[in-house]
Amino acid sequence: MNEIQKDFPILNQQVNDEQLVYLDNAATAQRPTQVTTALTEFYQTDNANVHRGVHTLAERATADYEAARRKLQKFINAKEPEEVIFTKGTTDGLNLVASTYGQQNVKAGDEIVISITEHHSNLIPWQQLALEKGATLKYIHLTDDGELDLDEAAKLITDKTKIVAVAHASNVMGTINPIKQLAKLAHEHGAIFVGDGAQSVPHIAVDVQDLDVDFYAFSGHKMMGPTGIGILYGKRALLEAMKPYQYGGEMIGFVHQFESTWAELPYKFEAGTQNIAGAVGLGAAADYLTEIGMANVTAHEQEIVNYLLPKLEAMDGVTVYGPQDPAKHTGVVAFNLDGLHPHDVATALDMEGVAVRAGHHCAQPLMEYLGLTATARASFYLYNTKADADRLLTALQETKEFFKHGSIETK
């Protein structure tokens, strides 16, 4: 752990005169020096536009870009690199599917099934598609344990269902959802399954072939890569049948005055100059996680959650949301302090050097379902420790004392 933490110099600083404890990893993770070095080296030695250029820098940049694609293919075990499309992130990838596959295949009277826990990125595209097409949008709800109700899912997914879209892991409660079972249910009724992997790919091993998902989107910045880069995986047969998402350079085969043909996969969906350096940085992040081992990342986070949850639940006035079994949990923990708005809690924790997020977490239907307006959310990653969990607990206790008595005891 000491060696890992050395790779993240941003963590070695004080905030409000306290040593920083960064627990906002579900929003964005920090980058190791291996990623920032890869970005710097690309810009200083290989920077050029990719494809078609015949000069040396263009050829090197193209090689770097395509090498990154192959790294991500291997990281999620896609069948071939042509099934890996570079996007701006999860949101971009999900909108691509809704705007292409959805527009081509959903009609009035069809059904789209999602879950009540979805991030807005995996909700609004389907909501708007259903409204435009006259389709029905259905929601899978939760069991008393805070997990997706699979019995309800089996009833909601019918022969009218065309798309099932569910997050692999909740960004609010950390719940790891059984998307392999949901994909199987979808396929039994002739529907396709779309997975939101934003909160899963950074934390658990993902094998898209084993999951048998049809599409799967995730973001680079949540797995320690750069911002503005992500991946959409899609099965080749589906991608080949889809229209382009955007038009312009790079995505064409040949352009005539009144008609055009499109490039082969994956370039048909990569119009314009892509975030080349971002792809290189994302490849470096995949290398970093592969070297550590995703099984080790998962085990480390579960150890912290297993340590934290009983202590957090035992604290007077604290309500924790989501499953209590660490095996069904990423490092995301949502909670509230009685009588305090989550924004006040987050501000007070920040004064103690502990960075958490507060709000509806782009999951307002889930908040309404739980009868809440917002929660505080602590999210752990591979560089966090049990000592960080203890700092959170101590800061929460001091926050309670402050709002109860109006002052915090001098350290």
Q: 224-279 pLDDT, tens per residue?
A: 999 999 999 999 999 999 999 999 999 999 999 999 999 999 999 999 999 999 99
Please indicate, yes or no, whether residues 167 and 185 belong to a single structural domain of this protein: yes
| Residue 326 pLDDT | 79
Q: Considering 256, 291, 326, which residue would you say is the last residue of a domain?
A: 291
Per-residue pLDDT tens digits for 315-365: 999 999 998 887 888 999 999 999 999 999 999 999 999 999 999 999 999
How sure is the predictor about 408, in pLDDT bands with cuts at 50, 70 and 90?
very low
pTM equals 0.96
| Residue 405 pLDDT | 64
Q: Considering 271, 291, 311, which residue would you say is the last residue of a domain?
A: 291
Q: Which two tokens stand for residue 374?
A: 């917002």
| Residue 145 pLDDT | 86
| Residue 209 pLDDT | 98
Please indicate, yes or no, whether residues 396 and 280 belong to a single structural domain of this protein: no
Whether residue 410 lies inside any domain: the answer is no
Q: How many CB atoms lie within 10 A of CB 306?
A: 14
Percentage of the chain beyond pLDDT 70 is 98
Percentage of the chain beyond pLDDT 90 is 93
**Which residues have C-beta within 8 Å of that of residue 283, sequence separation ≥ 6?**
38, 64, 67, 68, 69, 71, 72
Q: Measured on CA atoms in the order 271, 276, 280, 285, is the torsion positive or negative?
A: negative
Domain range for 134 is 34-291
**Which phi and psi angles does 73 have, rounded to 5°?**
-60, -45
Per-residue pLDDT tens digits for 132-172: 999 999 999 999 888 999 999 999 999 999 999 999 999 99
Whether pLDDT at 9 is above 90: yes
Please indicate, yes or no, whether residues 370 and 261 belong to a single structural domain of this protein: no
Please indicate, yes or no, whether residues 228 and 178 belong to a single structural domain of this protein: yes
| Residue 406 pLDDT | 59
Give the number of residues written for the chain: 411
How sure is the predictor about 404, in pLDDT bands with cuts at 50, 70 and 90?
confident
Q: Considering 291, 326, 344, which residue would you say is the last residue of a domain?
A: 291
Please indicate, yes or no, whether residues 75 and 109 belong to a single structural domain of this protein: yes
| Residue 410 pLDDT | 38
Domains identified in the chain, total number:
2
- Which residue numbers are catalytic? 362
| Residue 409 pLDDT | 44
| Residue 324 pLDDT | 81
Q: How many CB atoms lie within 10 A of CB 248?
A: 10
Please indicate, yes or no, whether residues 287 and 339 belong to a single structural domain of this protein: no
Q: Give me the helix-helix angle, 386-405 and 342-351, nearest 10°.
A: 110
Please indicate, yes or no, whether residues 347 and 209 belong to a single structural domain of this protein: no
